[in-house]
Amino acid sequence: MAHYTLKLDDHSTGNAIFTDLDGTLLDEKQRLSPVNRKTLHKLGEDGVCRVVITGRTLFSACRVLDSEFPIDLLVTSSGAGIFNYPSKKLLHSTSMKISDVRRSAILLKELALNFMIHAPLPDNHIFLWHKSLTGNLDFDNRLKIYEGYHKPLPKDLTTVGEATQLLIVCPKEDNGHLHPILQTKLSDLTVIRTTSPLDHSSVWYEIFPQGTSKAGAAAWICNHHKLNRKTSLAIGNDYNDLDLLLWSNFSRIVENAPLSLRRQFTVVPDNKNNGFSKAVADWRQSKLTCKITKANHQR
């Protein structure tokens, strides 16, 4: 199968699509449907840059993306890492300073939260963890999934180095209440809310360096590869896609997204019914309409 990898010396302004992975491009069993695969192939043939932007680490993403997955770029950890695909060559990454990691950890311990500190890219599937409260099944489940890749956070925080991010796992009852508190106390950092991909109800918060986000990664890609932001397409399904959806001039949200997000953006079918392909069809139609309108104005 041919991969339509971008040329770094290509100075022409091209188009790009930015899509979330779980709950958006993949179905509920983490599979790429034949319809969505065909759509991705067609985009590649047309020279459109195909970018997956996921909250997964590279290690985790490779569990569901095979070497023939038809994309050009893979953005991991909600914007912290940008890789060529399928080579997995790291193009760009962000990292938290040691001082920011330590003061964030002190705050989270004071707030009696369960959290993890992830190693720098590309090895951020390795982490330290701290548990203040028991009965957090989603937190415990993540420890089981990554067995062999983590150890408890030492009491002496001066031994903790740089990190990609901190991840907090809260029960669903939190319902986003912690978000403004963290944003206020860590105002010089980025705090992103998302829904647990494990139990699909617990609330996760990720702490990154300022500017790290899906939108930030998309902007870097457009600048680096001379792509046109104004004609980009963004597709998502959860709170950590919000900044990307607001960044793009043409955004779509799948029907399985939370109601508050569906109220803000045009909705396409859910991830079980090829909502990704419908979003691409809408985008193509919009571009065609713009061309016809411009042609009529020139007459």
Q: Read off the pLDDT of residues 210-262 as tens digits, 9 standing for 90 and up.
A: 999 999 999 999 999 999 999 999 999 999 999 999 999 999 999 999 999 99
Residue whose pair of structure tokens reads 């997000």 in the numeric block: 261
Predicted pLDDT of residue 13: 61
Of 117, 123, 127, 119, nearest in space to 149 by CA: 127
Whole-angstrom Cα distance, residue 158 to residue 153?
Answer: 11
Q: Judge contact between 120 and 163, C-beta under 8 A.
A: yes
pTM comes to 0.90
Predicted pLDDT of residue 87: 96
Q: Judge contact between 274 and 35, C-beta under 8 A.
A: yes
H or E element at residue 201: none
Predicted pLDDT of residue 289: 62
Residue whose pair of structure tokens reads 């950590």 in the numeric block: 240
- Domains, in order of start, for the chain: 16-94+213-298 (3.40.50.1000), 98-209 (3.30.1240.10)
What is the distance of C-alpha 257 from the center of its chain? Answer: 15
Residue 166 has pLDDT above 50, yes or no: yes
Whole-angstrom Cα distance, residue 295 to residue 289?
Answer: 10
Predicted pLDDT of residue 299: 53
Region 124-130 average pLDDT = 97
Percent of the chain with pLDDT over 90: 89
Radius of gyration of the chain (CA): 20
Q: Judge contact between 121 and 56, C-beta under 8 A.
A: no
pLDDT tens digit sequence for 41-71? 999 999 999 999 999 999 999 999 999 999 9
Q: Judge contact between 93 and 217, C-beta under 8 A.
A: no
Tell me how crowded residue 6 is: count the other CB atoms within 10 A of its CB: 20
Residue 168 has pLDDT above 90, yes or no: yes
Predicted pLDDT of residue 14: 87
Q: Residue 288's pLDDT band (boundaries 50, 70, 90)?
A: low
Whole-angstrom Cα distance, residue 24 to residue 47?
Answer: 22
Three-point CA angle 245, 139, 214, nearest 5°: 20
Range with the poorest average pLDDT among 7-16, 42-51, 179-188, 199-208: 7-16
Residue whose pair of structure tokens reads 């411009």 in the numeric block: 294
Predicted pLDDT of residue 286: 87
Whole-angstrom Cα distance, residue 16 to residue 220?
Answer: 12
Whole-angstrom Cα distance, residue 204 to residue 175?
Answer: 10
Q: Rounded to 5 degrees, what are φ and ψ at 101? A: -65, -45
Greatest alpha-carbon span in the chain: 73
Whole-angstrom Cα distance, residue 54 to residue 190?
Answer: 16
Long-range contacts, 184-193 (Cβ 8 Å, 24+): 185/107, 186/104, 186/107, 189/96, 189/100, 189/104, 192/78, 192/239, 192/240, 192/243, 193/239, 193/240
Predicted pLDDT of residue 6: 44
Residue 264 has pLDDT above 80, yes or no: yes
Residue 298 has pLDDT above 60, yes or no: no
Q: 34-45 vs 275-298: helix axis angle to the nearest 10?
A: 30
Predicted pLDDT of residue 4: 36
Range with the poorest average pLDDT among 111-115, 143-147, 242-246, 286-290: 286-290
Q: Residue 10's pLDDT band (boundaries 50, 70, 90)?
A: very low
